[in-house]
Every structure is written in C-alpha cells, then in structure tokens.
Amino acid sequence: MGRRALAVLVASAAIAATAGIVTAGPASAHEERAALFPTGQGHWINSPRAYSAARPHIVVCQPDSAQRIANLSDPTIRHRNEQLLKQCAFHSIQLAVDAVKKQKTDIWLLPGLYTEAQYDGAPKGACAQLKSSRDTDFIGTLEDPTGQPAKTSDGSPVALSYGDQLRCPHNLNLVAILGDKTPVADPSTQETPQTIKCDSVLCGVQLAGTGQSPYDVVLDNRFSKLNGIRADRVDGVIISNFTIQRTEFNGLYIMESDGYLIDHMVTRADEEYGILTFAGDHGTIQNNEAYFNGDSGIYPGAASDVNGDNLNFPVTRYAVIVRNNDSHDNNLGYSGTGGNSVWVHHNKFHHNGTGLTTDSFFPNHPGLPQDHSRFGPANEIYGNNQNYFAWNEFSADPPCAKPIEQRGYLEKGVVCPSVLGIVGGGLAIAGGNFNSVDHNKMWDNWRSATVQIWVPAILRHETDPGLAYDTSSNNHYVANRLGENLAGPWRQPNGIDFFWDKEGAGNCWTANTALGGPVTNNPEAGTLPGTCTNQGQGILWKGQLTSPNNPGTSAITDPAFLSCSQYDGQATAPGVYETCAWFHTPAQPAGRQGPAYDFTPYKAPFVDPQHVAPLKPTTTTTKPSVDNTGDNAGNGLATTGGGIGLALLGLTAIGAALWLRRTRRPIA
C-alpha cells in the first residue's frame, strides 16, 4: 500500500471515527405514568358525527383557509366549508379545545396547515420545574414553584402524573385534551378506575377535518413536542379526517379513555407511533393510513384486559377494534404490547419491516400477558420486507444518526426503528395467549408469514417462577390463505408460512391453504398440532394457564430473539446487529411470480409547502450522543495473523536465498 493510500485510509478512519463521535443520536421520547384501565362503562362509537347546527360546535381555520376551500373539487364539500368559514372563531386547535363549554362539542377544522406555534416552545415558569418522582405511580410531581429548582435541567421528567399534565399541558403535547378535571390531588394517593373518569366538558368532544381528504387539514408538529395530540381520560372522544405528522413520540395519543373513535386519519413521520392508544376500552380505530413511523403505525397497546380472567378461547367481548386501515412503510405496521382483546380485521399491513406484532415482552404494561385478540378476517398482510435496520441504522452513513429534523422522514421515506423487529415477518406473536389468526391473506413475507415464540415471564420482570411459562399457549391459526398475491393472482410464497418454537400448550394450525404447494413451517417444529379446542389448555397457577409441555428445554434454539432484544437504535452495543438474524433481509423465496419486489421507499404525497411547515430554527432535541467508539467488547484475541506474517517472512528469506544463489557470480 502506497504512502498516499495509507494516509487516505488513516484520514478516512479518523474522519469516520470523528463523525461517529460528533453526530447526534436519535431524538428521544418518554415513558408514561402508571396507567389504569377504565371501568368499562363506555360505549362504542362507530362513525364520526356529521355537522349539525343544533349541536354545540366551534370552527377553526387558518388565514389561507378560504383559498384552500376554493380549491376543493367537490362542490358539496366546498359549499359546506364556505358556510363553516363564516363561523370561524379560532386559528388554533388548542384554543378551540379550551373554549369548549358543553360535552359532545364538535370542533371543525377547516382546510389549512396548523402548527400551534404558540405551544411548541420549552416549558416556562413552574412547568419548567417538574422533576421526576421516585414514586412509580406518580412520576413528575410539580415542585413548589417557590422552592429550589429541579435537579435535572435538560427537560421535563419522562412521565408526568395526570395532575401535572393538567397543570402543564404543553410540556409534552402540542395539543392537549384532558377530560378529567378532578384527578386525585395528593400524589401519594393511588388513583383507581373510579377516580380516572372523564368529568369535564371535554367528554365526547370531536375534532374533525372538513376537507375532502385527510391531507386537506394538517397538524404539523415539526418535531417540537413528543405528542401531536394527547387525549387523556376523554371518554367518547372522536378524532377524524386530518393529518398529524412529525412528532417525537406519537402523532395521536389516547390514554385511559373509555369509548373513542379514530377515523380517516393520516399519521406519518413520527419517531414512535402514528396512533397510540393505551389503557383504553371501547376504542375503534378505522379507515386510517399510517406510514413512516419508527415503532408502529397503529398501536392499541395495554388495551383493557376484559378477558384477563377468561381461560377459554371464545372472548366475552373486545376492548378495541382495528379495521379497514392501511398501515405501510413503518418499522411495524401494527404493534401491541399487552394488546388485549383487540379485534383486527379487514386491514392492509404491507411494506413494513414487520406487518404486525403483539407481545408480552416489555414490562410495565397493564394487562400482561397479552391475550384474546383476533387477527382476522380479511387482513392482507404482504410484502413486509423493508429493512430499515440495514438502511437507516447500521449503514455506512446512517440517516438515523442525524438530528431528527435532518433525517428526511417525509422527503426520503426514512424510518428509524425505535424497537426491534423481524424483517420479513408478517405477523408475530411474542408471548401471547388465546389469539386467533384466521381467514387472512398473507403473502410475500420473505421470512415467515407468522412467527410464534415464547417469552419468559422474567423478561417483563415477572419474578414468580410459577408464571415463567405463562405465554404462548392456546393460539389458533385457522383458514388463512398463504402465498397468493391477489393482484395476479401470482404465487408469491412466504419464506415459510408458520414458525413455532414448540413452546406452549393448546396451539393449533388448521384449514390453512397455500397457492401452488403445501403450507410450510419450520422443520424443527415438526408437524404442527391441528386440533383446536375452545377450552384453554395448561396448568392453572394463580389464575393463569401455564404451559406444562415444554419447560423451555425443548424450545427451538433462539431464533435471534434474545440477541436482537439488545437493540437500541444508534446506541446498540457493538456486535448486536451482526448477530441478530432478524435484522438481515431474508432471501427471496423460490418460485416467486409477478413483478419484482420493490424496495424503494414509499414516495409520500403532499410533501410541499402547503402541507409541510418550515422547521423551527431551534427544534432539535437530541439524545446525548452515544459514542460507541468507547465500547470495549473485550480485548482482541490472538489471531493467526502473526503466524501467517512469520510464515511469509520465512518464505521471503528462502526466496531471497534462492535468488542470491541464482544470481551470484561463479567462484574461480
């Protein structure tokens, strides 16, 4: 190697190392206060409310709404908007929320680009003095404003109590809708399902865009706050027909609410979730589109555990319904830690890293272990092979190492996975019970259409050894159609159709069919059980069924789960990416027909000044950069390099001797 080349290499290495040090890590988000399920007294809401002059309503518009309304092509919708424009009273969604006087008020959002700029700054006054509490139920108690400043000065606590949300609604949220006006005042007192009820004028409030499409009304958070809209303890809330984009945590966040509807929304370019509902009941999430979200497009996690005591397969009722949604180009199309009693049907989950996951892996979600959800009928789960880990986290110049506003979420379709996923996975149940996966179409998922793995209870910090095997039982996979792309039809097989680690009791696979061949599964699992029973199988222990059959020792060798579970974005420890098989794109299945799979990132519509606001000059909130160059993965071990070098030296010496012998002059 020439001196110049060596110098270039050294310089490049130095630049790379320096870049690794100075580039910012991903922006951060937050945890949450301990959550409670509502009492379950709420009601289902099937559709948004139509306009009625007789019902209390507030109209919100932007200065250019008239022009945007004039551009609407549908004359009926245009006329209705023109009439509403005459009633416009606010330019701010939050001000309209604050002006609500009666329950079930409709807030009509006229076409426009909303940024709520007056709420997107740093907390001030007492709200800047919040500090973390050591109490796990009420974290972030407001400090006495006259007292000493908080010890931590780099932001709000990770989880605010509801009381603090009420006092400081914009610490974490661009728009806050807080329905419980009488929370427990004493932070040391435990709340109960009875104390968290909605009792304000905001109960039943509706926020609805009035455009032809959800893109006509855009709430652009510009990465300024964790949440675009937070609806907390707002029973009966309806969110409909607009777009929320560019948040550090959730586009739309609904928590501890009983009876809610999310309809015809677009949620895009969020570091975590497009739609997140938590500890909710009687929730309906329908007709939405979600893309470019780092965790999942739709997350009905910790849903009310209405079947928690049900030890049989049939459900008593569902807590959340997810239907007719299109969730694509996310890390996960759908996820639900503790996604209990959720009915997911007639959706499309495609071109994500993983189509859907539901799990019992992550601690502190009420209602674990996950149970009694139904995935089907008529979900289309296909082409979930986007490898955002390789492209955006572990590439040579990873976009996710840049500050959040420079990554190009909307412009380039960048997705930064905030949690592990299974590239090429259609639907994964990681520690769930009594789930039904039935009557779906699943094709072109290059690793596996479904994955079911046991998750030891200790990983969610459940230390009772009797509950170690309380997940991965009584799941039914019935009458799914595999490997058939409906558009052709073309044969587009999954890598395999079903993966099972053999853990758990009462699981079954029956009446599934595949185009052009047999249904396939991982060979280690052998022939999958085909008998389904409604009665839960297992051993009863403290109200839970645990698996008697495979006490861990027969589980198929770790399919990467444990090593992958160390994933932490740009802070991931060295070697994890290389050893995690799930982060590497599987090979295209043999016999695939039809057009070639297109890995090109989705080109989002409406990425223009009419729909995307300029970023604030100082919006960057970045996590302290993680300098992995300091990681010590263990000293290097003796290699064979020294030996090879010595051997080369020896051969060189002998070669030199031969050369000298051949070229020496004859001796007289």
What residues between 482 and 521 interact with another protein by CB under 8 A? 501
CA-wise closest residue to 306 among 232, 355, 350, 366: 366
- Reading the block at residue 511, the tokens are 């009446």
Residue 257 CB, shortest distance to another protein, in Å, is 20
255, 459, 482, 505: which one contacts another protein (CB under 8 A)?
459
Residue 358 CB, shortest distance to another protein, in Å, is 15
Q: How far apart are CA 92 and CA 63, in angstroms?
A: 11
211, 399, 456, 504: which one contacts another protein (CB under 8 A)?
456
Residue 333 CB, shortest distance to another protein, in Å, is 18
Question: Between 508 and 571, whose beta carbon lies closer to another protein?
Answer: 571
- Reading the block at residue 600, the tokens are 């090109």
Mark residues 5-34: x for contact with another protein by CB under 8 A, - for none: ---------------------x-xxxx--x
Question: Between 53 and 637, whose beta carbon lies closer to another protein?
Answer: 637
Question: Cβ neighbours of residue 87 under 8 Å, at least 6 residues apart?
Answer: 57, 59
52 touching another protein, by CB under 8 A = no
Q: Are 328 and 350 in contact (CB under 8 A)?
A: yes
390-419 binders of another protein (CB under 8 A): 418-419
86 touching another protein, by CB under 8 A = no
539-598 binders of another protein (CB under 8 A): 551-553, 555-558, 562-563, 565-569, 571-574
Q: Where are the alpha helices (DSSP H) in 481-595?
A: 561-564, 576-579
56, 155, 377, 529: which one contacts another protein (CB under 8 A)?
155
Residue 405 CB, shortest distance to another protein, in Å, is 15
115-144 binders of another protein (CB under 8 A): 132-136, 139
Question: Between 6 and 647, whose beta carbon lies closer to another protein?
Answer: 647
Q: How far apart are CA 36 and CA 312, in angstroms?
A: 24
Question: Between 182 and 652, whose beta carbon lies closer to another protein?
Answer: 652
632 touching another protein, by CB under 8 A = yes
Q: How far apart are CA 299 and CA 334, in angstroms?
A: 6
251-290 binders of another protein (CB under 8 A): 272
Question: Between 587 and 649, whose beta carbon lies closer to another protein?
Answer: 649
5, 53, 396, 638: which one contacts another protein (CB under 8 A)?
638
Residue 136 CB, shortest distance to another protein, in Å, is 5
Diameter over CA atoms, the chain: 125
Residue 501 CB, shortest distance to another protein, in Å, is 8
Q: How far apart are CA 639 and CA 624, in angstroms?
A: 36
Strands (E), 392-480: 425-430, 432-433, 436-438, 441-443, 448-453, 476-478
CA angle 350, 353, 358 (to 5 degrees): 85
CA-wise closest residue to 569 among 329, 413, 411, 392: 392
- Reading the block at residue 582, the tokens are 């799930």
Q: Are 281 and 261 in contact (CB under 8 A)?
A: no
Q: Are 324 and 359 in contact (CB under 8 A)?
A: no
Q: Are 340 and 306 in contact (CB under 8 A)?
A: yes
296 touching another protein, by CB under 8 A = no
Q: Are 367 and 432 in contact (CB under 8 A)?
A: no
Question: In angstroms, how far is the first alpha carbon of the chain from the final one?
Answer: 43
Question: Between 433 and 621, whose beta carbon lies closer to another protein?
Answer: 621
Residue 68 CB, shortest distance to another protein, in Å, is 35
592-631 binders of another protein (CB under 8 A): 621-624, 626-628, 630-631
633 touching another protein, by CB under 8 A = yes
Q: Which stretch binds another protein (CB under 8 A): 83-91, 173-181, 432-440, 650-658?
A: 650-658
